[in-house]
Structure 1
Amino acid sequence: MKLSICFMLISIASYGLSYWLPSLVKEFGVGYTANGFLNAIPYLLATFALIFLVPAVRKGDRPLYAMLAASVIGMVCFLSSVFLHNNVYRFALLSLGGPCIYVLLPCLWVLPSRFLKDAKAAVGIATITSVGGFGAFLGQNLVAWVRHLSGSADLPMLIPAGACFLLFFMIFNMIYSEKITRIFMFDEKSKESI
């Protein structure tokens, strides 16, 4: 269930950003062509991150720690973009925060095979995907709802920031609970050997 919630939060952040970024960049006062080129930058950076960073973090506990780091960096970037008033800095932060979301996805999909085997894996992956689909629905609608209520073009970026914040705590809980389990398993093995 934790992985399902993580995927839902990643979907909320991803769809919130992808649906709102063009509108936010338009508020900078750029034309349609420039808007299109500027919106390609976070995805280009995400491509490089996926090619060069993700293969290095696939083994052991690295996916969880990579997810922890990406969620913190994404949260800080999206939150800072709301409160800065310089458009260059805001866009730079959004361009750094966007790839963080896309680094989270392959790290997440490494994890189900570690916890689930055989038929349970199929059911688990289907559950994760279904809950994630609900996150996609929430992400695109929450951003529009925040824009409607606030009247601000900046505040919708609180949705991806909030999703990254919650994701940080989910991942931290998973790391912490896994370490506790290892400690107890080690204690049980040492008792058996005595």
Structure 2
Amino acid sequence: MADSILKALLFSVLFLFTSVLSADVYRWTDASGRTVFGDSPPEQSKALPVELPTLTVADSYSDGKQENKPAASAEAKDEEDAENETVEYKQFAVTSPEKDSVVRANNGNIMVRLALEPALQKGHGIVVYLDGKQVASGDSSVFSLESVDRGKHSVFAVLHDENDDVLKNTEAVSFNLLRHSVLK
């Protein structure tokens, strides 16, 4: 007997919660001219019921940790394989400074610009070398080199993946840097 009363009480509570959750929503304009939404409009206002869309619930996102679950479908496996494929870069070249050019920079600061196609992929990076020494790195196609000495220099860049494996090199570009001399 107590069991049936407990079940009836539980059913009543659940019914009460679902009726509260499914309350109607109305829209009306208040005395200030503002649009107001609520579940109990004032009696003197012309409240209109609001059609609410069906609630969509999405699965939680993955935190990146691999679990020992089989792929949900062949399509999901194909997408994962596509992410793991190495991208073939069609173009990777130094566009500035130009080959055998003369660059005037009294402060010794020069910009190295690279042409890269397709765009740099996630996890890939670029390392810039000046006269055989690493001078800059990052995930940009524009690098600023500061306080470069005057004279003839050679610049090239290396494109690498997340494991630091070299994917592609640019050709070395030679240029001359002119700086003002304080000696007379």
Report the TM range for the smaller structure's normalisation.
Answer: under 0.3
Higher Rg: 2
Q: Indicate the structure with greater strand content.
A: 2
Normalised TM-score (structure 1): 0.19
Normalised TM-score (structure 2): 0.19
Structure with larger RCO (C-alpha < 8 A, sep 6+): 1
Q: Indicate the structure with greater helix content.
A: 1
